[in-house]
Amino acid sequence: MQRPKSRTCPAWVTEMLHRPIVLVGLMGAGKSSIGRLLATRLGLEFVDADAEIESAAGASIEEIFETHGEAFFRSGERRVIARLLTGPVRVIATGGGAFIDSETRRKIKASGLSIWLKADTETLLRRVSRRGGRPLLNHGDPRQVMVDLMADRDPIYAEADITVETSENPPTEVTERVIAAVAAHLGVAAPARPRRGKANGSAATNRGAAKAKGEKKNGQRRRRRPPRPGAGTNSRASEP
């Protein structure tokens, strides 16, 4: 059996991917960080649904929750995600509760390729502790809240087209696993991974250029020096 030739990411996306990639999962799963890396790797636009909601509302997610409540937020979230799904092929990171909403989930299933970024409790808690703005963790013990959310939401996240485990893996490695999972789901060969040697070669080239520049500069300095007297020449001969 002939092995399919690997393609570069832009060509692969053009030929194989015809729907936006929608990342779902709990807070701290890495939807935004992995989403940005994935979009860069595939040559696509990255959009954070929560950032779009904040821009439209002129307020942070936390402020929207406190001022108007969760129902109001979900209503705006539905509209924003529906709009993003009708745009070009791109990578969309959603908030933790987006896929839980039945209407939003139905739209994502109909128009996008959903990927559940899954992580264990400890990983999620460690990641969310690095930043605030998590309204659902503001009431009660964060660990218990996270455990309860996982119990309620994981079975729904499992309805996503693809599941990728993200615990204890570097973001770049998770990104490659996501790409491989998408390729397997589509039944096609994954695009070639970038070669590390290319970056190393560029660095070596830069080092070589810097060295040559330094040598040239030193040579110029040497040429500016006055010639040394020849062997056996009496420097006092020129004195009056």
Q: How many domains does the chain have?
A: 1
Tens of pLDDT, residue by residue, the chain (240 residues): 333 444 556 666 766 788 999 999 998 899 999 999 999 999 899 999 999 999 988 998 888 988 998 889 999 999 999 999 998 899 999 999 999 999 999 999 999 999 999 999 988 888 877 665 555 555 667 888 889 999 999 999 999 999 999 887 889 999 999 999 999 998 888 887 877 644 444 444 444 444 444 544 454 444 555 555 544 434 333 333
Task: Say how far apart CA 225 and CA 228 lie, in whole Å.
Answer: 9
According to the model, what pLDDT value does residue 240 have?
33
In a domain, 146, yes or no: yes
In a domain, 99, yes or no: yes
In a domain, 74, yes or no: yes
According to the model, what pLDDT value does residue 101 have?
95
**Which alpha helices (DSSP H) does the chain contain, by range?**
9-16, 31-42, 49-57, 61-68, 70-85, 102-111, 121-128, 142-157, 171-186, 196-224
In a domain, 170, yes or no: yes
**Number of other CB atoms surrounding residue 46 within 10 Å:** 18
In a domain, 151, yes or no: yes
* Residue 196 tokens, joined: 């590390």
According to the model, what pLDDT value does residue 169 have?
80
In a domain, 231, yes or no: no
Q: Domain of 74: which CATH number?
A: 3.40.50.300
- Tell how many helices (H) and how many strands (E) occur in the chain: 10, 5
In a domain, 55, yes or no: yes
According to the model, what pLDDT value does residue 202 have?
41
* Residue 85 tokens, joined: 């799904």
In a domain, 96, yes or no: yes
DSSP string, 211-240: HHHHHHHHHHHHHHSPPPPPTT--GGGG--
According to the model, what pLDDT value does residue 141 have?
79
The answer to whether the beta carbons of residues 99 and 108 sit under 8 Å apart is yes
Q: What is the chain's alpha carbon radius of gyration, rounded to the nearest angstrom? A: 28
* Residue 121 tokens, joined: 């409790």
The answer to whether the beta carbons of residues 31 and 94 sit under 8 Å apart is yes
Task: Say how far apart CA 112 and CA 117 lie, in whole Å.
Answer: 15
According to the model, what pLDDT value does residue 235 have?
38
Determine the 3-state secondary structure of 23 from DSSP: strand
Query: What's the Cα-to-Cα distance from 192 to each of 7, 36, 108, rounded to whole Å?
Result: 6, 19, 28
Name the residue range of residue 44's domain: 9-186
**Tokens 């309204």 sit on residue:** 135
Question: Which amino acid would we find at residue 36?
Answer: R
